[in-house]
């Protein structure tokens, strides 16, 4: 499953969770009204116990719906772990022989290797480590993610998979929490047309911190996560 699909799956589950939470709250309020008439029969202690039971049932339904969002984050983290597994099949023996030789690679050589293996995390990890240990004399700085040095685009050595998992987890936690809010945050002077528009907005913001892997691309993010706004309602003081 591609990264964008994980975002879509999380949004779908969040929207479903929102509906389940609203239904659980309505059922709880309905039972409160219904049981209020039984207060005299149950007695004070019995009535309190009944209310506590109803609250526990409501909370269990809400948490059950929200936990489905968490599972998407767990699935993505598992996939990132698999991508980073030191699998011998992902290691190019020819390039390893070159890296282990006494040949001094130039910046252009390192960049060519970076471009070749930009979608192979295991090799980009090895290249990053070897570059820092054997970088050209003209380059006095260590390689760090997202920085440029002497014309090399170091981000092409791969994005740390843990960072990808943490970025996605932050997104899922944000939409998870928002499922319990009665209102949505405002975006400047406008409101989101729907809760999905708000989630799409968060997804696009999160994806700006992701780098595509393999045959992924984020060229259709605007179409995948459209955001519609409406005129903000005036604040009532």
Do the Cβ atoms of 92 and 130 come closer than 8 Å?
no
Going by pLDDT thresholds of 50, 70 and 90, the confidence category of residue 225 is: very high
Same domain, 74 and 102: no
Question: Quick one: pLDDT at residue 146?
Answer: 43
Residue 188 is part of which domain span?
3-84+161-231
Least reliable range by pLDDT among 148-152, 192-196, 213-217? 148-152
CA angle (220, 224, 225) in 5-degree steps = 120
Same domain, 45 and 79: yes
Same domain, 120 and 148: yes
Same domain, 136 and 20: no
Same domain, 75 and 35: yes
Same domain, 79 and 94: no
Same domain, 27 and 77: yes
* Domain end point (choices 157, 175, 199): 157
Residue 200 lies in a domain: yes
Question: Quick one: pLDDT at residue 143?
Answer: 47
Q: Which residues contact 11 (CB under 8 A, 6 or more apart)?
A: 175, 196, 199, 200, 203
pTM for the whole structure? 0.78
Same domain, 29 and 100: no
**Domain count along the chain:** 2
Residue 99 lies in a domain: yes
Going by pLDDT thresholds of 50, 70 and 90, the confidence category of residue 148 is: very low
Least reliable range by pLDDT among 54-63, 163-172, 212-221? 212-221
Tokens describing residue 72:
């998407």
């Amino acid at each position: 499953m591609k990264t964008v699909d994980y975002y879509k799956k999380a949004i779908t589950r969040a929207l479903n969770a929102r509906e389940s939470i609203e239904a659980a709250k309505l059922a709880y309020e309905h039972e409160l009204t219904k049981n209020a008439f039984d207060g005299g029969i149950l007695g004070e202690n019995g009535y309190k116990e009944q209310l506590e039971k109803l609250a526990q049932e409501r909370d269990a339904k809400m948490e059950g719906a929200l936990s489905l969002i968490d599972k998407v984050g767990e699935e993505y983290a598992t996939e990132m772990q698999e991508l980073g597994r030191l699998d011998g099949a992902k290691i190019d023996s020819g390039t390893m022989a070159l890296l282990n030789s006494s040949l001094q690679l130039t910046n252009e050589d390192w960049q060519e290797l970076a471009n070749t293996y930009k979608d192979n995390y295991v090799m980009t990890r090895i290249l990053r480590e070897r570059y820092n240990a054997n970088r050209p004399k003209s380059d006095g700085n260590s390689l760090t993610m997202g920085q440029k040095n002497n014309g090399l685009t170091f981000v092409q050595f791969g994005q740390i998979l843990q960072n990808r998992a943490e970025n996605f987890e932050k997104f899922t936690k944000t939409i998870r929490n928002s499922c319990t809010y009665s209102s949505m945050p405002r975006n400047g002077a406008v409101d989101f047309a729907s809760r999905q528009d708000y989630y799409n907005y968060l997804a696009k913001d999160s994806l700006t911190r992701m780098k595509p892997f393999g045959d992924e691309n984020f060229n259709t993010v605007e179409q995948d996560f459209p955001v519609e706004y409406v005129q903000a309602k005036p604040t009532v003081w």
